[in-house]
Amino acid sequence: MPYKEPAEKINKTEKTVPEKSFDKSIRQPSAGGKKFVKFLKRLLVFIIVTGAAGLLVWQSIAAVPVSHTGLILRFGRLRQSVYQEGLHFKIPFADKLVLVSNQLVSSQVSAEARTKDAYSLAAEISLSYHVEQDSSSALYQKTNPDAYGRNVLLPLVRESFKNLASDYSAAELAEKRQEFAEKLGGIIQGKIQPDGVKTDVFSLVELNLEEKYYADLDARKALDQEKARQALELENQRAKEELEIELEKERAEQIFASAKAQADGIRLIQEALLASPDFVNYVKWNRWDGKLPLVVASGSDIHTLIDAGDFVPQDALQASEPAGAPEGYSGESFIPDMITGGLTR
């Protein structure tokens, strides 16, 4: 068992430090130390007071930047007073300044719809809007103004585009794109006007119909062209037939006029023969060249060598037979007495 020294012996050997002298040296600092401690205290108080005053002043000032409207929340409740651009005072720690931007905000919206004739339609819409200053408070009570475009305006544009596109056919949209854009812009402005929001720029950047529409359009154009060609050919055929009919009418009229003229001529000859039988002799003399046959058979009658039927119609000769004609005169063939008399004598 190990040896242990008595506790009394151990306590006698320990050195002790005078307690009174140690406490006195700690509790009584020097004069320089006292001044330094006093300075630190004053500095701390100054910093606290200055910080509190600065914080108080900071909390009392409301700064509203350009193109913004300031709203005041007093203990979380919206006040009716609205601050315009500039510096304003508010109750520290009670009032909170909320800024509503009245600047122009631009957005791009992609929308899809179907036309009245069931064609797919895709559009890219560009619009710029801003919040009216007088309506900033009312809009803040309704929704977050900073998220108005994302939460309210963009869904509204897509819905309005879809509803309006269903009233148009694909061909109407292709022809009346500007009218469609203006009507869509008017519908959107009418819906956001109660919120105090105004659209400054509205543009239908792209309006694309599905490929099926263009294929059907080409097919319809080809069909219309074929119909137009057939109609033109039919019209030309009708015009040609009408022209031929007109020409036939003209030829018939000419033939009728010629026949009528001939009939009138014959009628006039008949009337002349009836009025003057010597007219036949006049015609015979005008048509005879004055030549007689070089050879005449013996016993032949020279009266038969000249046939009046070669000069005038048979009926005219019969009608022109004069009263009291000499024996042997038939009206068909004769030779003047001066010729026959000269030959017979």
pLDDT of residue 126: 92
Q: Considering the domain 105-209 in this protein, what is its CATH number?
A: 3.30.479.30
> Model confidence over 162-190: pLDDT tens digits?
999 999 998 898 889 999 999 999 999 99
pTM of full prediction above 0.85: no
**Sign of CA pseudo-dihedral 206, 212, 213, 215:** positive
Lowest-pLDDT range, 154-168, 222-236, 306-320? 306-320
Q: What is the mean pLDDT of the chain?
A: 76
Confidence band for 329, pLDDT divided at 50, 70 and 90: very low
Region 53-75 average pLDDT: 83
Give residue limits of the domains in the chain: 17-101, 105-209, 220-275, 278-344
Distance separating alpha carbons of residues 318 and 125, to the nearest angstrom: 106
- Tell whether the model's pLDDT for residue 159 goes beyond 90: yes
pLDDT of residue 325: 47
> Model confidence over 19-52: pLDDT tens digits?
444 444 455 556 667 777 888 888 888 888 888 7
pLDDT of residue 277: 64
- Tell whether the model's pLDDT for residue 134 goes beyond 80: yes
Distance separating alpha carbons of residues 142 and 132, to the nearest angstrom: 14
Of residues 310 and 281, more confidently modeled: 281
Tokens for 114? 């179907």
pLDDT of residue 43: 83
Region 114-124 average pLDDT: 90
The residue among 304, 312, 268 whose CA lies nearest residue 286 is 312
Q: Are 282 and 311 in contact (CB under 8 A)?
A: no
The residue among 137, 141, 163 whose CA lies nearest residue 81 is 137
Region 280-298 average pLDDT: 67
- Tell whether the model's pLDDT for residue 15 goes beyond 60: no
> Model confidence over 297-322: pLDDT tens digits?
555 555 444 444 444 455 544 544 54
